Amino acid sequence: MIVIFTIAEALTLLATDDEKGTAKVTSSVQYGLSGAAIAELLYKGKLAIEKKKVIVKDDSLTDISFFNTIIEEIKEAKAKKVEHWIRYFSSKKERLIDPLYLSLVEKGILKEEEKTNFLIFSRTVYPTLDERAEVEIRKQVNDVVLNGKERDGEVEILLSLIKASSLINEVFGKENKKEAKQFIKEIEKENELAKLISKAISNVESEDMATISTTVINN
């Protein structure tokens, strides 16, 4: 993993349209970013899974604001499954999504802009200011998947999140879709944390689809 980035920051760069400054696949990416932050805290030993629920293992402060927010909120709440926290933090933009984008603004990679639609609605977007970081991340994951380059646990988690966030075509190209999916599938057989987060994101999306279907039928 490139040293200056968290897994969630790397995923943010891959998922953000360089010109529009918005996520390319909104719902899947939001779950992916939430899952990425939780996965990295599990990887670093700040969080742990006990009896299928997330607990705080080490509540000491980190240098990353959104990590501290996640640790504090999980510490203060009753123990809940990974799926709960993925859904929770994906819906709380001010706790995770906004700080993620702002961290990349502070690093000079994205820029923050206010965009007005129909002269009424205003929203914040984050177009790319310096593309070199994203280019390097893309090269690294493509080299691992397509060229057999060496990988570490963080890269394996990032690859699993690329799949879970519906970004395989975007990152590897449609022509490499089948090969990339199979490669990541093999990673998830070996990396329990990558498998756990990917499955949790899939479960959340399945639950959402079931809720939507039920609502449509009842109406």
Residues 38 and 48: their CA atoms lie apart, in Å, by: 10
| Model confidence pLDDT, tens digit, residues 179-215 | 999 999 999 999 999 999 999 999 999 888 766 555 5
Q: Give the class (CATH, top level) of 7-212.
A: mainly alpha
pLDDT one-digit tens code per residue, 144-178: 999 999 999 999 999 999 999 999 999 999 999 99
Query: Could you tell me which residues come within 8 angstroms of residue 99 by beta carbon, excluding any fewer than 6 positions away?
Result: 65, 66, 69
Flag whether pLDDT at 1 surpasses 70.
no
Alpha-carbon distance of 129 to 126, in angstroms, equals 9
> Does the CA dihedral 43-180-143-31 come out positive or negative?
negative
To the question of pTM greater than 0.75 for the whole model, the response is yes
Per mean pLDDT, which range of 3-7, 14-18, 213-217 is the poorest?
A: 213-217
Q: 73: which residues sit within 8 A by CB, 6+ positions away?
A: 88, 95
pLDDT value at residue 218? 55
Spatial CA neighbour of 71 closest among 91, 52, 85, 90: 85
- Residues 6+ away with beta carbon under 8 Å from 77: none
- How many CB atoms within 10 Å of residue 180? 21
Mean pLDDT in the chain?
91
